Structure 1
Amino acid sequence: MDSQVSTCIIILNWNSAGDVIQCLGHIDSREWDILIVDNASSDSEEAESIKLTFPAVHLLKNSTNLGYAGGMNSGMRWAKENGYSSALLLNPDTKPTLELIRSMINASKEASVVGTAQVSPDGAGVMVPYVSAATLRGDKPISYEWSTETNELVEVDIVTGAAILVDLSEAARINYMDEQFFHYKEEYDFAFRMRKAGNRIVFVSEYPLVHERGGSLPLHSAQAVYYNYRNELLFLRKHFGIFGFARGPGIFRDAVRHGFNSPRLAVPIVLGLFHGLRGVTGPVTLRSGNRTS
């Protein structure tokens, strides 16, 4: 198996067939092996519509919505069982280029986890870079600020975002992603644990990934806000104990500002903080009855 065949691209779908099909249009399925994991989309035929458009892709259908972590875990286990050595975990709302994928696979020769620079369009359509990597000062994460001029391979301690390439044997060794997070922070926790297990993590920025952001869960929805605050605290609780929240006072300052600026989101903000402090995990149903998934 050459490096291309031994890497499986995994795209998680949940009610996002349009995004998935657009994403696949940027990837040559004759060059890459691709697995679509359908996370129990509302339309039972949605996964088949993707397969009909791109017959060469592999398809794995989950019977329930396992969240991002559970969905990607099922994909990584499938890939490992089918002989792949690594997997590129890719969000459906992205526009990957062949150059980007090749640069990440090339970087994987040097590390067990590879992250990449990412940009998203602002309201005017201008591509704006955002932070998707960090280094650790002790246990304190320091955001890694990249620029388009920074083309060299950079060693970091944490990568996040919409495209992460992982060594499947090392991922299995730490039992993949923690499904208690369900949505948000799971890839941060995953990279943090991979680094703690002695794995090298690198970041590439030569070909930034275009990421629309919020394809399956709108960034400013009540569900997204709830998971964001809850899982920030769950991460601190998991790694630093029940009083780990003391390491992240900025979370609470941000929550106050956020609630003041967006009063309609005050309830999910407070509930997320409360559940994070209590250690509530997994999917949660908001008071409105809308499932947070």
Structure 2
Amino acid sequence: MSEPKVSIITVNYKQPQVTKDLLRSIAELSYLNLEVILVNNEQDEGLFAEGPDFPFELLEINSQENIGFAGANNLGITKAKGDYLFFLNNDTELSDGVIEKLLSGFDSPEIGAVSPILRYHEAPEKIQFAGYTEINAWTGRNSLIQQQNVETFTESPYFHGAAVMLPRWVVQDVGNLPESYFLYYEELDWSVRVREKGYQIKVCQEVSVLHKESVSTGKNSPLKLYYQTRNRVFFMYRNSKHAWLFLGFFLLVSVPKNLLTQVLKRNWLHLRAFLLACQHALITKQSGWIDARNFS
């Protein structure tokens, strides 16, 4: 039986070396029936204008505007020819056997998505993601499962956007990633759409991908705080049957706690980012791109 074609879709946002590291790791895979679609966000020229010597087909797409994580991945979907779409952050690196093992998880038409375990690139012995818990209806938060399971495949309510494989027919059935989030929470929302269609989400416990966490936005940057705060509210508005419970907790607990934390630490840029996120989420319902220069 021939290998199904796999389309790897990844987004580069002003990180050429990080992206090239990913492509080099893909080049070392033994799985041959694949293509790589590289979407360059806010970039006029590709990274490989002279044509790279890779053992796979590489298609570069340049977007002159920053269309966000979801928008760039959706652009990649329009060009993908694979039977399976493997979405990878550009700050990840693969080891051989990952693709084959993920494909083996689609042993039933009920399986909608399979993620590998994610390990920290700087400390591979530490697990970043081996599944998620459900999002709490009060707090709008959930937790990463960071302990490997003895079972080969385990079920998770959400997949991780840094590395997830979906069959083409599932994407066509569910629809593309929601672009209103722009950055963060879009994969959680997409996971909800996948489950609403009756599909299961699995995590393969036998293979892992190395992840250089938050390379684009910074681990504790004002930009990350802005999007995670704003989109947490967006997500609960969109997906919670009791959003008023969350709204009460957010206004009475989260907002005072964050304001006090940022003031005590004198993190004025973070404070501004948090206030702007609250304004856009609760008052103006603004979505779209907020540039990092807004917090400098």
Pair 98,255 (structure 1): closer, same or farther in 2 beyond 3 Å: farther
Pair 148,193 (structure 1): closer, same or farther in 2 beyond 3 Å: same
Which position in structure 2 is the counterpart of 1:288?
294
Pair 193,149 (structure 1): closer, same or farther in 2 beyond 3 Å: closer
Could you tell me how far apart the structure 2 residues matched to 1:280 and 1:39 are?
21
When the two structures are superposed, what TM-score results if normalisation uses the length of structure 2? 0.82
Q: Report if aligned partners of 1:135, 1:141 keep a CA contact under 8 Å in 2.
A: no
Pair 143,15 (structure 1): closer, same or farther in 2 beyond 3 Å: same
2:35 corresponds, among 33, 36, 61, to 33
Aligned length: 282
Pair 174,118 (structure 1): closer, same or farther in 2 beyond 3 Å: same
Pair 255,63 (structure 1): closer, same or farther in 2 beyond 3 Å: same
Which position in structure 1 is the counterpart of 2:62?
61
Paired letter, 2:282: L
Moved more, 25-34 or 171-180: 25-34
Could you tell me how far apart the structure 1 residues matched to 2:266 and 2:188 are?
26
Q: Report if aligned partners of 1:85, 1:168 keep a CA contact under 8 Å in 2.
A: yes
1:95 corresponds, among 93, 96, 113, to 93
What is the 5 A alignment of 1:211-230? 211-230=211-230
Pair 99,65 (structure 1): closer, same or farther in 2 beyond 3 Å: same
Offset of residue 211 of structure 1: 0.3
Could you tell me how far apart the structure 2 residues matched to 1:102 and 1:63 are?
35
Q: Report if aligned partners of 2:133, 2:143 keep a CA contact under 8 Å in 1.
A: yes
Which position in structure 1 is the counterpart of 2:192?
192
What is the 5 A alignment of 1:248-287? 249=250, 251-252=254-255, 255-256=258-259, 259=262, 260-261=264-265, 263-264=267-268, 265-278=270-283, 279-285=285-291
Q: Report if aligned partners of 2:93, 2:209 keep a CA contact under 8 Å in 1.
A: yes
Could you tell me how far apart the structure 1 residues matched to 2:232 and 2:200 are?
24
Offset of residue 93 of structure 1: 0.7
Paired letter, 1:156: S
SS at the partner of 2:25?
coil
Paired letter, 1:255: N
RMSD of equivalent CA atoms:
3.0
Amino-acid identity (%): 19
Give unmatched runs, 5+ long, in structure 2: none
Could you tell me how far apart the structure 2 residues matched to 1:277 and 1:203 are?
34
